[in-house]
A and B are shown apart, each in its own frame.
Chain A
Amino acid sequence: NAGVTQTPKFQVLKTGQSMTLQCAQDMNHNSMYWYRQDPGMGLRLIYYSASEGTTDKGEVPNGYNVSRLNKREFSLRLESAAPSQTSVYFCASSEPLYRVGNTIYFGEGSWLTVV
Protein backbone atom coordinates (compact mmCIF):
# COMPACT_ATOMS: atom_id res chain seq x y z
CA ASN A 1 0.00 0.00 0.00
CA ALA A 2 1.58 3.25 -1.14
CA GLY A 3 -0.63 5.65 0.87
CA VAL A 4 0.76 9.17 0.41
CA THR A 5 3.79 9.49 -1.85
CA GLN A 6 5.96 12.62 -2.04
CA THR A 7 8.72 13.47 -4.46
CA PRO A 8 11.51 14.43 -4.29
CA LYS A 9 12.68 13.26 -0.88
CA PHE A 10 15.70 15.57 -0.83
CA GLN A 11 16.40 18.75 -2.77
CA VAL A 12 18.95 21.55 -2.60
CA LEU A 13 18.01 24.81 -4.26
CA LYS A 14 19.77 28.08 -4.79
CA THR A 15 18.05 31.27 -3.65
CA GLY A 16 15.68 32.45 -6.36
CA GLN A 17 15.23 29.09 -8.04
CA SER A 18 11.82 27.53 -8.41
CA MET A 19 10.67 24.00 -7.84
CA THR A 20 7.56 21.89 -7.37
CA LEU A 21 6.97 19.25 -4.72
CA GLN A 22 4.70 16.50 -5.93
CA CYS A 23 2.23 14.55 -3.81
CA ALA A 24 -0.09 11.70 -4.71
CA GLN A 25 -2.45 9.59 -2.61
CA ASP A 26 -4.11 6.32 -3.50
CA MET A 27 -6.79 6.24 -0.78
CA ASN A 28 -9.42 8.20 -2.75
CA HIS A 29 -9.42 10.93 -0.11
CA ASN A 30 -11.14 14.21 -0.77
CA SER A 31 -8.87 16.40 1.37
CA MET A 32 -5.15 17.00 0.93
CA TYR A 33 -2.70 19.18 2.83
CA TRP A 34 0.79 20.60 2.75
CA TYR A 35 2.58 21.21 6.06
CA ARG A 36 6.07 22.37 6.85
CA GLN A 37 7.99 21.30 9.94
CA ASP A 38 10.73 23.40 11.44
CA PRO A 39 12.73 22.86 14.64
CA GLY A 40 10.94 24.38 17.59
CA MET A 41 7.92 25.35 15.48
CA GLY A 42 6.02 22.12 15.05
CA LEU A 43 3.95 21.44 11.95
CA ARG A 44 2.38 24.44 10.30
CA LEU A 45 -0.21 24.30 7.56
CA ILE A 46 0.78 25.93 4.28
CA TYR A 47 -2.21 25.17 2.05
CA TYR A 48 -4.97 22.63 1.93
CA SER A 49 -7.54 21.38 -0.51
CA ALA A 50 -10.82 20.28 1.02
CA SER A 51 -11.94 18.71 -2.24
CA GLU A 52 -10.93 18.49 -5.88
CA GLY A 53 -11.06 21.94 -7.45
CA THR A 54 -10.67 23.91 -4.21
CA THR A 55 -7.63 25.21 -2.38
CA ASP A 56 -7.31 27.39 0.73
CA LYS A 57 -4.51 29.13 2.54
CA GLY A 58 -3.27 27.83 5.83
CA GLU A 59 -1.15 29.47 8.49
CA VAL A 60 2.00 30.15 6.41
CA PRO A 61 1.09 30.44 2.69
CA ASN A 62 3.43 33.27 1.66
CA GLY A 63 5.95 32.26 -0.99
CA TYR A 64 4.02 29.16 -2.04
CA ASN A 65 1.42 28.17 -4.60
CA VAL A 66 -0.54 24.93 -4.90
CA SER A 67 -2.41 23.01 -7.55
CA ARG A 68 -4.97 20.29 -6.98
CA LEU A 69 -4.36 18.57 -10.29
CA ASN A 70 -7.01 15.90 -9.74
CA LYS A 71 -8.38 13.96 -6.80
CA ARG A 72 -5.12 12.05 -6.35
CA GLU A 73 -2.51 14.78 -6.75
CA PHE A 74 -1.70 17.98 -4.88
CA SER A 75 1.48 19.88 -5.74
CA LEU A 76 3.31 22.65 -3.89
CA ARG A 77 5.34 25.18 -5.84
CA LEU A 78 8.05 27.52 -4.63
CA GLU A 79 8.28 30.27 -7.24
CA SER A 80 11.42 31.99 -5.94
CA ALA A 81 13.01 29.99 -3.15
CA ALA A 82 14.37 31.77 -0.07
CA PRO A 83 16.59 30.44 2.73
CA SER A 84 13.60 30.84 5.10
CA GLN A 85 11.89 28.08 3.12
CA THR A 86 14.50 25.54 4.19
CA SER A 87 12.34 22.99 5.95
CA VAL A 88 10.83 19.54 5.88
CA TYR A 89 7.61 19.45 3.89
CA PHE A 90 4.86 16.93 4.53
CA CYS A 91 1.91 16.13 2.35
CA ALA A 92 -1.13 14.51 3.92
CA SER A 93 -4.58 13.34 2.96
CA SER A 94 -7.82 12.48 4.70
CA GLU A 95 -11.55 12.32 4.48
CA PRO A 96 -13.23 15.31 6.22
CA LEU A 97 -11.77 15.54 9.72
CA TYR A 98 -15.06 16.66 11.27
CA ARG A 99 -16.60 13.28 10.52
CA VAL A 100 -16.37 10.64 13.20
CA GLY A 101 -13.44 8.29 12.88
CA ASN A 102 -11.60 10.01 10.05
CA THR A 103 -7.87 10.30 10.50
CA ILE A 104 -5.09 11.83 8.46
CA TYR A 105 -2.29 10.06 6.62
CA PHE A 106 1.12 11.59 6.05
CA GLY A 107 3.81 11.10 3.46
CA GLU A 108 7.42 10.47 4.43
CA GLY A 109 8.46 14.10 3.96
CA SER A 110 10.59 16.13 1.56
CA TRP A 111 13.78 17.73 2.89
CA LEU A 112 14.40 21.04 1.16
CA THR A 113 17.50 23.17 1.64
CA VAL A 114 17.76 26.62 0.09
CA VAL A 115 21.28 28.04 -0.04
Chain B
Amino acid sequence: KQEVTQIPAALSVPEGENLVLNCSFTDSAIYNLQWFRQDPGKGLTSLLLIQSSQREQTSGRLNASLDKSSGRSTLYIAASQPGDSATYLCAVSTSGYSTLTFGKGTMLLVSP
Protein backbone atom coordinates (compact mmCIF):
# COMPACT_ATOMS: atom_id res chain seq x y z
CA LYS B 1 0.00 0.00 0.00
CA GLN B 2 1.36 3.37 -1.03
CA GLU B 3 2.04 5.78 1.84
CA VAL B 4 2.90 9.44 1.44
CA THR B 5 4.58 11.48 4.16
CA GLN B 6 5.09 15.24 4.24
CA ILE B 7 7.56 17.05 6.41
CA PRO B 8 7.25 19.45 8.14
CA ALA B 9 3.59 19.41 9.17
CA ALA B 10 3.68 23.17 9.68
CA LEU B 11 6.11 25.92 8.77
CA SER B 12 6.20 29.60 9.64
CA VAL B 13 8.61 31.93 7.84
CA PRO B 14 9.05 35.68 7.33
CA GLU B 15 8.29 37.13 3.94
CA GLY B 16 11.10 36.87 1.41
CA GLU B 17 12.57 33.58 2.57
CA ASN B 18 13.20 30.69 0.24
CA LEU B 19 11.74 27.46 1.58
CA VAL B 20 11.55 23.75 0.87
CA LEU B 21 8.68 21.39 1.53
CA ASN B 22 9.37 17.67 1.54
CA CYS B 23 7.35 14.68 0.39
CA SER B 24 8.29 11.00 0.52
CA PHE B 25 6.48 7.92 -0.76
CA THR B 26 6.99 4.24 -0.09
CA ASP B 27 6.26 2.66 -3.50
CA SER B 28 8.47 4.02 -6.26
CA ALA B 29 6.27 2.52 -9.02
CA ILE B 30 4.45 5.77 -9.70
CA TYR B 31 3.03 7.36 -12.84
CA ASN B 32 3.35 10.89 -11.55
CA LEU B 33 3.49 13.14 -8.51
CA GLN B 34 1.50 16.30 -7.99
CA TRP B 35 1.72 19.22 -5.63
CA PHE B 36 -1.50 20.95 -4.63
CA ARG B 37 -2.39 24.09 -2.76
CA GLN B 38 -5.39 24.32 -0.45
CA ASP B 39 -6.62 27.59 1.00
CA PRO B 40 -8.77 27.50 4.16
CA GLY B 41 -12.32 26.47 3.38
CA LYS B 42 -11.53 25.76 -0.25
CA GLY B 43 -10.83 22.86 -2.55
CA LEU B 44 -7.47 21.80 -3.90
CA THR B 45 -5.70 23.46 -6.80
CA SER B 46 -3.00 21.63 -8.73
CA LEU B 47 0.30 23.53 -8.75
CA LEU B 48 2.75 21.21 -10.47
CA LEU B 49 2.58 17.77 -12.04
CA ILE B 50 5.77 15.74 -12.51
CA GLN B 51 5.66 12.64 -14.65
CA SER B 52 7.70 9.66 -13.42
CA SER B 53 10.20 10.14 -16.24
CA GLN B 54 10.84 13.78 -15.30
CA ARG B 55 13.21 15.20 -12.69
CA GLU B 56 11.61 18.57 -12.10
CA GLN B 57 8.93 21.05 -13.08
CA THR B 58 8.86 24.81 -12.65
CA SER B 59 6.06 27.34 -12.52
CA GLY B 60 6.96 30.89 -11.62
CA ARG B 61 8.50 30.91 -8.13
CA LEU B 62 7.73 27.23 -7.62
CA ASN B 63 10.05 24.37 -8.48
CA ALA B 64 9.26 20.75 -7.78
CA SER B 65 11.80 17.95 -8.05
CA LEU B 66 11.31 14.21 -8.15
CA ASP B 67 13.72 11.42 -7.25
CA LYS B 68 11.64 8.35 -7.97
CA SER B 69 14.28 5.82 -6.99
CA SER B 70 14.59 7.24 -3.47
CA GLY B 71 10.86 8.00 -3.17
CA ARG B 72 11.28 11.72 -2.57
CA SER B 73 10.02 15.01 -3.92
CA THR B 74 10.63 18.58 -2.85
CA LEU B 75 8.69 21.76 -3.50
CA TYR B 76 10.87 24.83 -3.51
CA ILE B 77 9.22 28.22 -3.09
CA ALA B 78 11.42 31.21 -3.87
CA ALA B 79 11.01 34.61 -2.27
CA SER B 80 7.96 33.65 -0.26
CA GLN B 81 5.03 36.07 0.06
CA PRO B 82 2.11 36.30 2.51
CA GLY B 83 -0.16 35.18 -0.34
CA ASP B 84 1.69 31.86 -0.34
CA SER B 85 0.17 31.04 3.04
CA ALA B 86 -1.86 27.86 2.56
CA THR B 87 -1.65 24.11 3.02
CA TYR B 88 0.46 22.30 0.44
CA LEU B 89 -0.32 18.69 -0.35
CA CYS B 90 1.67 16.11 -2.23
CA ALA B 91 -0.05 13.21 -4.02
CA VAL B 92 1.14 10.28 -6.11
CA SER B 93 -0.52 8.20 -8.77
CA THR B 94 0.72 4.66 -8.33
CA SER B 95 1.08 2.09 -11.11
CA GLY B 96 -1.91 -0.21 -11.33
CA TYR B 97 -4.27 2.19 -9.64
CA SER B 98 -6.51 4.87 -11.05
CA THR B 99 -6.44 7.12 -8.00
CA LEU B 100 -4.20 9.46 -6.03
CA THR B 101 -2.71 8.88 -2.59
CA PHE B 102 -2.25 12.06 -0.60
CA GLY B 103 0.09 13.14 2.14
CA LYS B 104 -1.32 14.99 5.14
CA GLY B 105 0.04 18.31 3.97
CA THR B 106 2.31 21.08 5.17
CA MET B 107 0.60 24.18 6.56
CA LEU B 108 2.64 27.22 5.53
CA LEU B 109 2.36 30.65 7.11
CA VAL B 110 4.34 33.51 5.58
CA SER B 111 4.30 36.60 7.77
CA PRO B 112 4.80 40.15 6.46
Binding site for B on A (CB under 8 A): 4, 31, 33, 35, 40-45, 48, 50, 58, 90, 92, 96-98, 100-101, 103-109
Contact = CB atoms under 8 A, between A and B. Distances in A.
B89 interface: yes
Contacts, number: 56
B100 A97 contact: yes
Contacts of B45: 106
Consensus secondary structure, chain B interface? strand
A45 B42 CA distance: 18
B34 to A, nearest CB: 6
Interface in B32-78: 32, 34, 41-46, 49, 51
Contacts of B12: none
Nearest to B47: A103
A14 B16 CA distance: 47
Contacts of A45: 99-100
Contacts of B99: 33, 45, 48, 58, 97
Nearest to A111: B41
A107 B91 CA distance: 17
Contact of B98 (A97, A101, A106, A109): A97
Contact of B93 (A44, A98, A106): A98
A2 to B, nearest CB: 13
Given A41-B104, A104-B34, A98 B98 contact: yes
B104 A31 contact: no
B102 interface: yes
Given A43-B89, A106-B43, A97 B32 contact: yes
B51 A100 contact: yes
B95 to A, nearest CB: 7
A58 B101 CA distance: 10
